A and B are shown apart, each in its own frame.
Chain A
Amino acid sequence: MTSQAPSPATTVTIRRGAYRDSVALMRVSREVSALDGVDAALVAMATELNLELLAQMGGSVPEGTGPNDLLIAVRATGGETTAAALERADAELAAMSTGGGGGGGGAEAPARTLRTAAARAARDGAPASLALVSVPGRYAAAEAFEALEAGLDVLVFSDNVPVEHEIALKDRAAGLGRLVMGPDCGTAVVGGAGLGFANTVRPGPVGIVAASGTGAQQLVCLLDAAGVGVGHCLGVGGRDLSSAVAGRSTRQALRLLDADPATERIVLVSKPPAPEVAEAVRAEAAALATPVHLVMLGGETDLSAAAAEVVTALGGPAPRWPSWSPAAAPSPRAGALRGLFCGGTLADEAMLIASAALGPIASNIPLRPGDAAWTLPADLRHDGHLVIDFGDDTLTSGRPHPMIDPSAREERLRAELADPAAGVVLLDVVLGHGAHPDPAAGVAAALTGSGSAVPVVVTLCGSSGDPQGLEAQAAALASAGAEVYLSNAEATRRALDLLKRP
């Protein structure tokens, strides 16, 4: 160990042809000089004057250095200090040319691209974590690519996105370690924020991966009613578990939730998946550290039973789902089941339950595609049992989703109430962010004015925290004469009870 203090040394680097304004450079020099251990710093263009200053600092430059070259000189003690000072000079120089985007005056035009909007969000102190894409389907993938490249996860609400766009997008996301929720992802809850159509839920230990929008909403609302909170609900899009897309986002979402310490149980909810994809996802789920409930409709289970299973698995008592009755109980009558739904998965679940008792149910989203007895004609007219999904792509092209604009469904409701062949009407009313501010009102109005003897059973899919008010919506429906259930499975079974069969 030497007692002699190390002496300061001057280090000089040159950037050829890197012009900077001299006043701005003086500021950089000052910042670097102020660092601990730095005797002197000169960050300046290599003019004659500045070279003299450099000589006074004990530094020199290579032959051929001229006034268009930038010199960075630091006199400091110790290599580490010098390195830190040079690094600081680099950082200050880089910051000089990034520009805050401010300056110039004049109103800033609206951002035209996701990356500009994201850059402004970061500048304004709220760095974006997620992009929400709801442009027409054929344009959606291009926007989502932009979001991924800006370092964001993406939720694609848009439907009618070509499947090859979806696959390309999800492959890019996998390469970047990002998640694509959707396309046609109707709902998500991330970090407490509800995206798309989303119910307000208490935070909690359950994480949901949803290949079905209203399926996830039903699950979330049932869990909420049983006092179980949901931390995150990651939608993956209705096609993710098809053979073509092969669960690309589902697997990514499962891994994300598995890595999240706050998630104690994962629920995967989907419409009937492609069998080989179901197998792969099952294997993926089995390998996770977090227990996974697989709720794949089409099998034995329904959403309400699955929710009950999750509640009891978390140590809760077997739940009883709330319902609301009208002042006078409706009388059963003969006729056909008429299901009028906004939610595709709710419609599916209702058909699965009802067809077990009634046989074929005609629908625009048939349980048995290609089978005439199960398929509604294009005009949606049919004398027997039928279920219409008003939220299906073919009925929403060029018009808002029925959860936003329920008028088409209300019109059909009036027609069914006046149809002597109708035995019972089963419908859903979906609450939450993004949905109509008072969806019960239209249904109640149709019922009140009809004078119809056709019983009406409603699945009210909502949580106690939803902006529309669960109790108020239920009361409005019940006082108009409807029977109201939180559980879609219970509502469907009650509708079957109200159907007097020959």
Chain B
Amino acid sequence: MSGEPTLLTADPSVVSVGAGLFADALAAQAVPVAPVDFAPPLGDGALDDALVRVLADPRRTAANATAVERVLAVRPQLVDVRPAGEALGLEPGTFYHAGPPVDWERASGPLRGALIGAMVFEGMAATPEEAERALASGAARLDPCHHHSAVGPMAGVISPSMWVFELVDEATGRRAWCSLNEGLGKVLRYGAYGPEVIERLRWMSAVLGPMLRDAVRAVGPLDIGAVVAQMLQMGDEGHNRNRSGTLMLLRDLLPAIITSGAPSDDVAEAVRFVSGNDHFFLNLVMPAAKLMMDAGRDVPGSSLVVAMARNGTDFGIQVSGTGDTWFTAPAELPQGLFLGSYGPEDANPDIGDSAITETCGIGGFAMATAPAIVRFVGGDVEFALATSRSMYEITLAENPAFQLPVLDFRGAPTGIDVTRVVRTGILPQINTGMAGRVAGTGQVGAGLVNPPEACFTQALAALAQAAPELPGA
């Protein structure tokens, strides 16, 4: 942004941060003054040198521009639906899960519940009790979805026999995967593992998966990025509201499903299932976002957040300039509304890879575009507008493809910058579902949550370590 010197020639117009006295003195001279509402950075004074060292890193500006450019250049296309074992090379006995790494010992109720259900579903245990004993004895290998170009909502458990959407970015050949969405209520991803849950998973693998595969192969590739762009203009924010996206997907796939020759009962059941589950498209928004954010990874010097994910115990973030390191802190409890007689004491701390949507500028970041959802997560329209506006303070770019009509078609605030989060203390806003604390419960509510500050302060310290020392220090 090197520019011609204008200091001595331009009409003075001043942006003032700090003592109001000087802003007032300028206003008294009829000089236009724009004030900044300053708050000290995170870290209680311990991070000031680290922050300056990162800000002074000569690589940072160009690195962030490169990372964001790569993110925005991704065109996520749905190309296939396949069993996870085949698509991801996932071996029996290994389960992928949401969030940063965690073992059975530290796993939360909903993650344990989902793992128990997955063991039963894979035929590795006959009963939940047997599954639990096996898991506790270390019979299964756990690994984050994020380590395999995959994402999973809530518990995010993926086992070899589950089917996954496969997305590709043609220009780079990069791929991302996500499980199929099971619907709401008592479902595996919220930690439920009763017989109805297992039965549904079996039907999804036996009927729904193959039917979607055939349809996608017949009409695909489907441009998921373009559907997301349209969703945002139709009242969906792509995290907790995916209604129009789900219906647009169905619209695109239906002709191929109907003419596939599948039994009409199966077709009716599948269509009823998908159209009756407003969240079905979430599992396509997520891998689209994953594909985009993975493109921004591993740019030395970049302070772009490329992943935010929770495993129900820890919240973790990854940053472009610090490779695969997770910066974690205990996950917080969402604030929001509860289903039926559930209350805050029933809720598990924040869980799921779905915060990849916020990482890529939608979900909570695009809340202004989804006024219909604000009550569901316990806010109001004013809050939604203020939230989206404040996310521009901590992001590097505005995505011209994802526009928010209510903000005069402004591009979604995209690409969280660690330095801006630390400097302003404004934390990313996440819209989320709430899982029951006790394994087997299922969903108990939905609400709003922020990542812990410590994720960002640790990331900043690591970026500072990777940056050149300050001159003269």
Q: Which residues of A are at the interface with B, using a C-beta cutoff of 8 A?
A: 16-21, 24, 66, 68, 94, 96-106, 108-114, 116-118, 120-121, 124, 126-136, 138-139, 141-143, 145-147, 149-153, 157-158, 162-165, 167-169, 171-172, 175-179, 190-196, 198, 231-232, 244, 256-257, 259-260, 404, 433-434, 467
**Knowing A149-B1, A177-B5, A244-B472 touch, does A117 contact B56 (C-beta < 8 A)?**
no
10 interchain pairs (CB within 8 A)? A68-B226, A97-B400, A97-B411, A105-B385, A135-B38, A145-B56, A164-B470, A178-B5, A191-B11, A195-B22
Distance between B1 CB and nearest chain A CB, rounded to angstroms = 5
**Knowing A102-B408, A111-B37, A145-B55 touch, does A157 contact B22 (C-beta < 8 A)?**
yes
Complex interface: chain B residues within 8 A of A106 (CB): 381-382, 385-386
Complex interface: chain B residues within 8 A of A168 (CB): 52-53, 55-56, 470-471
Q: Of A120, A126, A135, A194, which contacts B29 at CB under 8 A? A: A194
The distance in angstroms between the C-alpha atoms of A468 and B26, with both chains bound, is: 15
**Knowing A131-B16, A195-B26 touch, does A116 contact B403 (C-beta < 8 A)?**
no
Complex interface: chain A residues within 8 A of B473 (CB): 164
Complex interface: chain A residues within 8 A of B385 (CB): 104-106
Q: Give the residues from 1 to 56 in chain B that come closer than 8 angstroms, CB to CB, to chain A.
A: 1-19, 21-23, 25-26, 28-29, 31-32, 34-41, 45, 48-49, 51-53, 55-56
Q: Is the CB of A256 within 8 A of B420?
A: no
Is B406 part of the contact surface with A, judged by Cβ < 8 Å? yes
Question: Which chain B residue shows the least CB distance to A263?
Answer: B8
Distance between B352 CB and nearest chain A CB, rounded to angstroms = 27
**Knowing A68-B223, A97-B409, A126-B32 touch, does A147 contact B472 (C-beta < 8 A)?**
no
Q: Is the CB of A142 within 8 A of B390?
A: no
Q: Is the CB of B470 within 8 A of A167?
A: yes
Q: Of A96, A105, A172, which contacts B56 at CB under 8 A? A: A172
Q: Is the CB of B15 within 8 A of A117?
A: yes
Complex interface: chain B residues within 8 A of A146 (CB): 423
The distance in angstroms between the C-alpha atoms of A96 and B403, with both chains bound, is: 9
Q: Is the CB of A96 within 8 A of B471?
A: no
Is B407 part of the contact surface with A, judged by Cβ < 8 Å? yes
Is B139 part of the contact surface with A, judged by Cβ < 8 Å? no
Complex interface: chain B residues within 8 A of A257 (CB): 8
Tally inter-chain residue pairs, CB-CB below 8 A: 278
Q: Is the CB of B18 within 8 A of A134?
A: yes
Is B393 part of the contact surface with A, judged by Cβ < 8 Å? yes
Q: Is the CB of B407 within 8 A of A434?
A: no
For A121, A168, A179, A198, the residue with the greatest tally of chain B CB atoms inside 10 Å of its CB is A168
Q: Of B10, B58, B410, B424, which contacts A129 at CB under 8 A? A: B10
Question: Which chain B residue shows the least CB distance to A255?
Answer: B5
Complex interface: chain B residues within 8 A of A16 (CB): 75
B352-396 Cβ-contact flags toward A at 8 Å (1 or 0): 000000000000000010000000000001100110011011000
Q: Is the CB of A132 within 8 A of B12?
A: no
Q: Is the CB of A112 within 8 A of B56?
A: no
Q: Is the CB of B36 within 8 A of A109?
A: no
Is B426 part of the contact surface with A, judged by Cβ < 8 Å? yes
Complex interface: chain A residues within 8 A of B1 (CB): 149-151, 176
Complex interface: chain A residues within 8 A of B48 (CB): 138-139, 141-142, 162
**Knowing A17-B225, A97-B398, A112-B426 touch, does A175 contact B407 (C-beta < 8 A)?**
no
Q: Is the CB of B404 within 8 A of A99?
A: yes
Complex interface: chain B residues within 8 A of A163 (CB): 472
Q: Is the CB of A158 within 8 A of B409?
A: no
Q: Is the CB of A179 within 8 A of B7?
A: yes
Q: Of B389, B409, B471, which contacts A108 at CB under 8 A? A: B389
The 7 closest A-B pairs by CB, nearest first: A99-B410, A134-B18, A68-B226, A103-B408, A168-B56, A110-B37, A97-B400
Question: Which chain B residue shows the least CB distance to A125?
Answer: B32
Q: Is the CB of A112 within 8 A of B25?
A: no
Q: Is the CB of A24 within 8 A of B409?
A: yes
The distance in angstroms between the C-alpha atoms of A165 and B55, with both chains bound, is: 10
Is B465 part of the contact surface with A, judged by Cβ < 8 Å? no
Complex interface: chain B residues within 8 A of A104 (CB): 368, 385, 389, 406-408
Other A-B pairs beyond A149-B61, A150-B15, A231-B8, 19, CB < 8 Å? A17-B223, A21-B405, A98-B411, A102-B408, A103-B406, A106-B381, A106-B385, A108-B389, A110-B36, A128-B15, A129-B11, A130-B14, A131-B14, A143-B38, A149-B1, A177-B3, A179-B7, A191-B8, A193-B26
Q: Is the CB of B25 within 8 A of A130?
A: no
Q: Is the CB of A111 within 8 A of B471?
A: no
Q: Is the CB of B7 within 8 A of A99?
A: no
The distance in angstroms between the C-alpha atoms of A67 and B320, with both chains bound, is: 34
Q: Of B28, B223, B393, which contacts A116 at CB under 8 A? A: B393
Q: Is the CB of A111 within 8 A of B22?
A: no
Complex interface: chain A residues within 8 A of B408 (CB): 99-104
Complex interface: chain A residues within 8 A of B19 (CB): 134, 157
Distance between A52 CB and nearest chain B CB, rounded to angstroms = 21
The distance in angstroms between the C-alpha atoms of A27 and B406, with both chains bound, is: 18
Complex interface: chain B residues within 8 A of A178 (CB): 3, 5
Q: Of B18, B389, B393, B406, which contacts A113 at CB under 8 A? A: B393
The distance in angstroms between the C-alpha atoms of A193 and B408, with both chains bound, is: 35
Q: Of B14, B40, B49, B223, which contacts A136 at CB under 8 A? A: B40
Complex interface: chain A residues within 8 A of B34 (CB): 111, 117-118, 120-121, 126, 128
Complex interface: chain B residues within 8 A of A113 (CB): 36, 393, 420, 423-424
The distance in angstroms between the C-alpha atoms of A78 and B11, with both chains bound, is: 41
The distance in angstroms between the C-alpha atoms of A128 and B10, with both chains bound, is: 9
Distance between A302 CB and nearest chain B CB, rounded to angstroms = 28
Q: Is the CB of A17 within 8 A of B75?
A: yes
Complex interface: chain B residues within 8 A of A129 (CB): 6-7, 10-14
Is B230 part of the contact surface with A, judged by Cβ < 8 Å? yes
The distance in angstroms between the C-alpha atoms of A198 and B41, with both chains bound, is: 30
For A111, A118, A139, A259, the residue with the greatest tally of chain B CB atoms inside 10 Å of its CB is A139
Complex interface: chain A residues within 8 A of B53 (CB): 168
Distance between B133 CB and nearest chain A CB, rounded to angstroms = 49
Q: Is the CB of B8 within 8 A of A232?
A: yes
Distance between B428 CB and nearest chain A CB, rounded to angstroms = 14
Is B268 part of the contact surface with A, judged by Cβ < 8 Å? no
Complex interface: chain B residues within 8 A of A143 (CB): 17-18, 36, 38
Complex interface: chain A residues within 8 A of B404 (CB): 99
Is B229 part of the contact surface with A, judged by Cβ < 8 Å? yes
The distance in angstroms between the C-alpha atoms of A348 and B155, with both chains bound, is: 68
Distance between B163 CB and nearest chain A CB, rounded to angstroms = 25
The distance in angstroms between the C-alpha atoms of A176 and B58, with both chains bound, is: 12
Q: Is the CB of A176 within 8 A of B2?
A: yes
**Knowing A99-B404, A105-B385 touch, does A114 contact B15 (C-beta < 8 A)?**
yes
Distance between A109 CB and nearest chain B CB, rounded to angstroms = 6
Is B233 part of the contact surface with A, judged by Cβ < 8 Å? yes
Complex interface: chain A residues within 8 A of B37 (CB): 109-112
Complex interface: chain A residues within 8 A of B470 (CB): 164-165, 167-168
